[in-house]
Amino acid sequence: MKLSAAESRRAIRAIHLALESLPRSAVGERNKFVFIGGGLVPLLITDPAASPARPTKDVDVVFRVETVSAYSYMRQDLLRVGFRDDIFADKPLCALFFDEWRVDFLCSNTGVIAGANRWFNSVMEDPVEDEIDGVNVWRASTPSWIATKLEAWLNRGRLESGAPDYYHQDMEDILAVVDGRPECVAEVADGIAAVSGFIRQHFRIMLSKPDFLSALPGHTGGHERSEIVLKRLKSIL
């Protein structure tokens, strides 16, 4: 199932409320479930003139857990509060379902489960509380979110030739947020130093590539809007 922008917001709100029903002893006093991934794009876009977010097929959540056994116990707790497994579905091991939505539960610690990203720890260090229809949810900060998307794109955003795929969905998500969130320039400037440095490094590389510059208007709906995004990318540097 592909989630529209409105459906993503509804899904995140409902999933958050289900997670709130977990016993605090299971979650831990300092732990949080922080939303990340492509499903977060509609929450990050603040400019109504920007291109709409692409539909996404799942919702991603990251949390802290130290061991495989602790992750397994958390999974059992999730099943008790309404999440469900589907052994016949084509999905990664980290995925459960809530209502009609697939939810990928990812771990901030590398080596616990597949799908870890080296910037998930940064996601957990500087989460932002956002409001959806009267409910406050934790989401990745804009810089940490961009860093996780860049890392994912570097790992899987390649053409068969091995060349960078500037039309990959991870790149589409990154540019949708740069396009739709004017605040991102200041947010990256104020972000965790390592995160902001990583973003600047790869934006600088991208801006030096003619193939990226050629692809940019296709992400923004035309050259006029692509000039806004190009200026914003350069400002982040």
| CATH code, 70 | 3.30.460
pLDDT over 60 (residue 9): yes
> How high is the mean pLDDT of the chain?
91
Of 116, 141, 166, the residue that ends a domain is 141
Shared domain check, 27 and 106: yes
Number of domains the chain is built from: 2
- Point out the domain boundary residue: 79, 112, 141: 141
CA 159 vs CA 115, 156, 162, 168: distances in Å:
21, 9, 5, 9
Helix (H) or strand (E) holding 152: helix 142-156
pLDDT at 25: 65
| Per-residue model confidence as pLDDT tens digits over 113-159 | 877 899 999 999 999 999 999 999 999 999 999 999 999 999 999 99
Report pLDDT for 8.
87
On whether both 80 and 44 belong to a single domain, the answer is yes
**Per-residue pLDDT tens digits for 182-235:** 999 999 999 999 999 999 999 999 999 999 999 999 998 888 899 999 999 999
Q: Are residues 115 and 33 both part of a single domain? A: yes
SS3 letters for 180-235? HCCCHHHHHHCCCHHHHHHHHHHHHHHHCCHHHHHHHHHHHCCHHHHHHHHHHHHH
Residue in 55, 61, 71 with CA at minimum distance from that of residue 104: 61
Read off the pLDDT of each residue in 62-85 and give the average, rounded to a whole number. 92
What's the domain range around 173? 143-236
How far is it between the farthest Cα atoms of the chain?
Answer: 53
Pair (100, 38) in one structural domain = yes
Among 13-17, 24-28, 71-75, 224-228, the minimum mean pLDDT is found in 24-28
